[in-house]
Chains A and B, each alone.
Chain A
Amino acid sequence: MSTGLKEKVGLKLESYTFRVEKGKIKELAQAIGDLKEEFLSGEAVPPTFPTVIDFWGGGASSSELLNLNMKKVLHGEQEYEYFRGIVPDEEITVHGVIEKAYTKAAMNFYVIRKDYLDKQGKTVLISRSTIIERH
């Protein structure tokens, strides 16, 4: 089971692009209950907004790439490093790669790094997600 793990390091996710819609910003803020005026108006984004980019940008392909059983998958860690704020209506393109894969305590761990770039190719933020697959 763990023999194929190492081969997954370096695998790239299919890139995806998302236009930062103000309505999606407001929707996320309301779902969290974080009702700051700048979020409701869509002028600024909550810190966890990149998850919206991932799922609505056509991503979420990591589970397919890693061939994960969704009944056995848990989110272990999440990290964001912000270089500048996300601006409403801009387009963000995401490139993802499997950075690490290892087995510990009868679970598989995958670290997925994603780089979020603006139209000029500048990095807006970097995320690292640790996905745990129970055996």
Chain B
Amino acid sequence: MEVGQTLEPLQKEEITHTQLIRYAGASGDFNPIHTVVPFAEAAGLGGVIAHGMLVMGFVGQAIGQWFEVKNLKKFTTRFKAMTRPGERITVQGRIVDENDTCWICEAEAVNEAAEVKVKAFFEIRK
């Protein structure tokens, strides 16, 4: 590990409506904008959108691929764009800095058109 290092991208499967329903049940977030198409359309969203926390979960999965999850100290995400069923997310990341105890990293979840869905920052104990 060293500052400037690029981490191997995590390629996720296409998001499905079923996955959003499954995530709603697992997380307990039953806001119908994520699961009920007519409701999401009435809300002006043009259909259901994925839970931001699901996409953060993808980034968490990538962190666990790159490091030991138990060493994660801080994990921040900014939700930049809505994610919809049919999209395929890739998580890419890099080590941008370090201090005595931690690696400072950034990552983003992007779709196939390189649209950034989630921008993430995290610190992981060495």
Contact = CB atoms under 8 A, between A and B. Distances in A.
- Name B's interface SS: helix
B29 A80 contact: no
B69 A51 contact: no
- What does DSSP make chain A's interface, helix, strand, loop or mixed? mixed
Given A31-B54, A36-B64, A80 B74 contact: yes
A82 B72 contact: yes
B79 interface: yes
Contacts of A72: 43
Contact of B53 (A48, A70, A71, A76): A48
Contacts of B78: 76-77
Contacts of A82: 72-75
A79 B74 contact: yes
A interface, size bucket: 20 to 34
B73 A46 contact: no
Contact of A33 (B13, B27, B31, B52): B13
A75 B28 contact: no
B53 A46 contact: no
A82 B124 CA distance: 10
B19 interface: yes
Given A56-B28, A76-B79, 7 more contacts: A31-B54, A34-B57, A54-B28, A55-B27, A60-B28, A70-B31, A78-B79
